[in-house]
Amino acid sequence: MSASILGYSTPTLLAWEEDYDTPRGVFGDSYLAKIIRTQEYMETMGNERDNDLLLVVDAYDVWFQLRKETLVARYNKIIKESNERLKQELGEAWNFEGLRNRVVFGAGKRCSPNDPHSIGCYAVPEPPFLDDLYGNSTDMGIRSNKFGTTRPRFLNAGFIMGSVKGLRKLFSDAREEAEKLMIFEDQVPEDDSIHIHGATYHSDQSVWNVLFGQQEYMREVMRLKYKPETDGIGRKIPREGPRGSGRIDGKKVDNIFDPPFEHPNVGNLGADGLLAREYGVALDYASDIVHNTDSAQTDAMWLDYGQPMEEQFNDTRRENHDCAQRVPEEFPQDILDAGPPNQYPPIEWSIQSYYTDICLASVPVMVHHDGDKTARERDWSRMWFYENGKRLFNFAGGGATAGHARSFEAHKAFPRPAGMVNEVGGAWLNNGRFLRWSEVCPKSWEEEIFPSKKPARRSIFKDSYRERG
């Protein structure tokens, strides 16, 4: 619903109402279905769609608070900046192997549910910012929540975005790995090899962690392979060892090829060539697109940008946060540039209430409630459109299927057929059926989403529109 209000395209729901009470050997479970059904969906998309951007998010715990124009701008920014870092880090491997990031995942504080001593955890690099983000406690794991002062550096699959071309190989390999897990547990080989480097039976997140860890491991192999032995005038360059990767369970990993703890054998990752595990994956370290709340609730708070910040950062709140509070020095221009969706009244974007990462000074496009699930009920009233949700929803189309009926093929077609419009609030299923808003959100839920009794707040609209009512 939040995406509909903000003018996002009509989504496709994957694995809707499918039954996962079957044994793993038959299909796996709903988490692995996220990989399999998405990969199947992409198989229906022709090569002419390769340059389209595909957005994959969890269904029940992601809220959108910013427009799609801001999302795309930040995706492009992350890709550009991550490729600049990659070029600097990999040196000649960047040129010879053509390595480029083109897919973005969220970043989280926990390498869950994988074995922390496996490649999906210890091989991933440190984030490119602030090694003292939480003061002396940064990455030390010494607080009551040992992940609370860990910088976000592990992959989180609640948000995935990239070109269709960039995602094809990634999801194909993820499906292959997921299907290894979808056997009966009593058929696990004695050598435990089916655990694929610390992955677990029930989790897509576990599979993604493994693939990202393998990518980063192989990137380091390639970096060292192409490291020049002499400088430009023939002088020998001292041999450089493998990079480290920060702390795992409080232990510093100085060499990802030889971590200071027992770990599963990584196997022969280069058997199919060094690029076999290259996926072009970068992470949204700075929460520009998504803030994942798991172990990070104290990194963020709801801020009213129409009120003085110092009044909102009082001493009581400060005690609840492990970092020095930061907010954007200026209101993000990419939010102002997006403007309201078509047909909307003018909205005063710079004075709304936004969920804000106060450690990294970012206003994310979306919030992924993968931590405290009760926040989905508790904090809904903090969304900037809460008091005017029904009104804005009606502006967007009100759940009606405006225009002429369209097929699932037309929904997926590129370019869009003339006259095609979004069915606001509804969703397509991957079997071609269309769900209207009343099916996605039964009337019994409407009072909770669009409450008739609302707290009194200032108008979200600009003065020129407010005066007209």
H helices, E strands: number in the chain: 16, 14
User: What pLDDT is recorded for position 319?
Assistant: 58
Burial letters 260-282, b for 16+ CB under 10 A, else e? eeebbebeebeeeebeebbbbbb
User: Higher model confidence: residue 59 or residue 403?
Assistant: 59
pLDDT for 294 beyond 70: yes
Closest CA to 432 of 461, 456, 410: 410
> Which whole number is the average pLDDT over 376-393?
90
Identify the band that residue 26 occupies on the pLDDT scale cut at 50, 70 and 90.
Answer: very low
User: Higher model confidence: residue 465 or residue 333?
Assistant: 333
User: What pLDDT is recorded for position 342?
Assistant: 65
User: What pLDDT is recorded for position 466?
Assistant: 47
Q: Which of 15-29, 64-78, 227-241 ranks highest by mean pLDDT?
A: 64-78
pLDDT for 415 beyond 70: no
Among 4-18, 180-194, 291-305, 442-456, the minimum mean pLDDT is found in 180-194
Separation of alpha carbons 39 and 42, rounded Å: 5
Please list the alpha-helical segments (H only) found in 306-426: 309-312, 315-319, 333-338, 375-378, 389-396, 408-412
What's the pLDDT tens digit per position in 255-265?
999 999 988 77
User: Higher model confidence: residue 414 or residue 161?
Assistant: 161
Q: Which of 116-120, 243-247, 292-296 ranks highest by mean pLDDT?
A: 292-296
Judge contact between 362 and 356, C-beta under 8 A.
yes
User: What pLDDT is recorded for position 447?
Assistant: 86
Separation of alpha carbons 23 and 26, rounded Å: 6
User: What pLDDT is recorded for position 64?
Assistant: 97
> Which whole number is the average pLDDT over 355-370?
96
Among 5-14, 133-142, 338-347, 371-380, the minimum mean pLDDT is found in 338-347
What's the pLDDT tens digit per position in 110-131?
998 888 999 999 999 999 988 8
User: Higher model confidence: residue 369 or residue 452?
Assistant: 369
pLDDT for 58 beyond 50: yes
User: What pLDDT is recorded for position 274?
Assistant: 59
What's the pLDDT tens digit per position in 137-157?
888 887 767 899 999 999 999
User: What pLDDT is recorded for position 467?
Assistant: 41
Match 């936004």 to its residue by tokens: 354
Beta bridge partners of 355: 302
User: What pLDDT is recorded for position 186?
Assistant: 45
> Which whole number is the average pLDDT over 74-100?
94
User: What pLDDT is recorded for position 10?
Assistant: 87
